[in-house]
Amino acid sequence: MLLRFAALLILVAFPLRAEEVVLGLSSDKVAITATFEGSDILIFGAVKRESPIPETPLDVVISVSGPSQPVQVRRKERQFGIWVNTDMVDLDAAPSFYAVATTGPLDKVLSSTEDLRHRVSIPRAIRSVGAASMVEDVESFTDALIRIKRDQGAYQMREGAVVFDEQTLFRTAIALPANLTEGVYSTRIFLTREGRVVSQFETVIDVRKVGLERWLFTLSREQPMLYGLMSLAIAIAAGWGASAAFQVMRRG
């Protein structure tokens, strides 16, 4: 009797989810080679249900986040005819890559409270707690970083890019740029209803250099002196080769 009562308490405290995400990726690994020009990752999945589809529709929010690192943002102003650095802010952490795809406008499918809790939107993904002591308008520096990253294709906000068929199957494609940072890319999928998160799933995409790129990267980290000498030798050889070719062309 005591065991049954304890089991009932557990079910009350942790109710079974009526809807859950079943996820798939076109690839969970991205190989960066010498000829890498970017890649598209297809993210797809389905909603598993224990009961009929509710009348209130679901929405899907997907985020892909690259490795985070501290970022220094500088403000420049024109003084006496030249551009000079005036203010500087050290942001605690900003993802090297960040993309958000949704079934509709983000402010409609995800409430501000849930965004604050799960840090889904691009501004929420950037941590700037320590920057408040450096300047008053931290948001302007954060906005500048987002604008630069967007121009580079590293930050993407794709509202309405998730296709959701019959409230069961969903899919979207995320474009990864050529200048990817190596590391683990966190992929999160949120099912939301009326702006509230009802289910969440998380997986990772492993982005690594391979082949010659991997060897050169490892050499530069483990044997920087040898890497520097090799780079110098290649530069000298390339310069000599170009000079020799130019001389041949002149004689011809």
Domain ranges of the chain: 15-66+95-209, 210-252
Cβ–Cβ under 8 Å, residues 153 and 120: no
DSSP string over 56-122: SPPEEEEEEE--EEEEEEEEEEEETTEEEEEEEEEEEEEESSEEEEESS-HHHHS-HHHHHHHT-SH
- Mean per-residue pLDDT of the chain: 77
Give dist(CA 59, CA 167) in Å, integer: 8
Please tell me which of 75-84, 198-207, 237-246 the model is most confident about, judged by mean pLDDT. Answer: 198-207
Architecture of domain 15-66+95-209: Sandwich (2.60)
Give dist(CA 148, CA 127) in Å, integer: 17
Residue 213, pLDDT above cutoff 80: no
Take residue 83 and report the two structure tokens written for it: 């551009």
pLDDT tens for 105-157 read 999 999 999 999 999 999 999 987 665 555 667 788 888 889 999 999 999 99
Contacts of 163 (CB under 8 A, 6+ apart): 103, 170, 171, 172
pLDDT of residue 61: 96
Report if pTM > 0.85.
no
**Banded model confidence at residue 228, pLDDT cuts 50, 70, 90:** low
Q: Smallest Cα–Cα separation from 141: which of 78, 77, 72, 79?
A: 72
By residue count, the chain amounts to 252
Once rounded to an integer, what is the mean pLDDT over residues 188-201?
94
